[in-house]
Amino acid sequence: MMPVRRDLRFNLPPERACDWHAQGSHVTHFFNALSLLFPAGERFFMDSVRHYRDDIDDPVLKKQVLGFIGQEAMHTREHVEYNDLLQQAGLPAHKLDKRLWAILNFGRKVLPHSYQLAVTVCLEHYTAMLAGLLLEDATRIDGSVQGYAQMWTWHALEETEHKSVSYDVWNAVLKPGLGRYLLRTGVMLATTITFWLIVFDYHVRLIIADRKRGGHVRGMWRVLKYLYGPRHGVFPRIAGEWLSFFRPGFHPWDHDNRAQLARIDGLVAAVDAANAAAPNTRRSARRGMQAAA
């Protein structure tokens, strides 16, 4: 699987930043909280893999690393703009983004490179699980505002496309054995707690900042169902895949969902068509700005 860097732009109506999801603002803010994690988080991923780039001999894996870095860089660019829309909508997006940069910069300083790579492997497993769920279960995002849904679907497809890259680097550069297994699984336990605490914290802060919108009883019920519902909830649906990470012979492609990737070309065409039909996209706004300057 070779990750391909795709330079896409999305038409994100700013006035829908707080309620673009079909299930209302409270579920929207769950995704928005995740979006706030990407600029700092993806930079951390790229750097932790870059530390080991010279230790990789396999030419195919070297190329996959380049594709991985190219994709994450595009995701970050788009999520920075998305997060700016959240800030403009009155949410503390920049403050929460800065807070994560501080946390991860501290990690960069104190953690050995192998730990940093382990954190990336674990969080890439998280993005792969959440992305897989988004792609496999239409109820996750269907009926939402088109540009936002397209952006999340694009991100989910590319996370799937590169889901094994950091793990393959891990296997290639660290000495096999019990130490490597314990580091990977121990970091998974620590990462799981930290990741969900931060997501929960950010999610609550966004809901509080947007509290004037109201509808809290129904909104919270929808969030609970979305995250914990026994049939479709995020946590029940990813539990098995999360556990599989603890098998000594685990590999991200054990969960073989590559069939989903057939959707990429159609999505790219749909994004292009949407941009052509809506001349007020950020891309043309930026072109206009460049022309003026």
Q: By the criterion CB under 5 A, which residues form the site for Fe ion?
A: 72, 75, 127, 159
The nearest distance, CB 261 to Fe ion, in angstroms, is 14
The nearest distance, CB 293 to Fe ion, in angstroms, is 30
Identify whether the C-beta of residue 267 lies closer than 8 Å to the C-beta of residue 150.
Answer: yes
For Fe ion, which is the closer residue by CB, 166 or 275?
166
Judged on CB neighbours under 10 Å (0-12, 13-18, 19+), 253 is middle
The nearest distance, CB 194 to Fe ion, in angstroms, is 17
**Closest listed residue to residue 221, CA positions, set 32, 26, 22, 21:** 26
Name the token pair of 140.
Answer: 């996750």
User: Cβ-closest residue to Fe ion?
Assistant: 75
CA distance 235 to 130: 10
Name the token pair of 179.
Answer: 């130490």
The nearest distance, CB 62 to Fe ion, in angstroms, is 17
The nearest distance, CB 42 to Fe ion, in angstroms, is 5
List of long-range contacts for 226-234, beta carbons under 8 Å, 24+ apart = 226/23, 226/27, 226/30, 227/30, 232/137, 232/139, 232/140, 234/130, 234/133
For Fe ion, which is the closer residue by CB, 129 or 207?
129
For Fe ion, which is the closer residue by CB, 72 or 168?
72
For Fe ion, which is the closer residue by CB, 47 or 229?
47
For Fe ion, which is the closer residue by CB, 72 or 210?
72
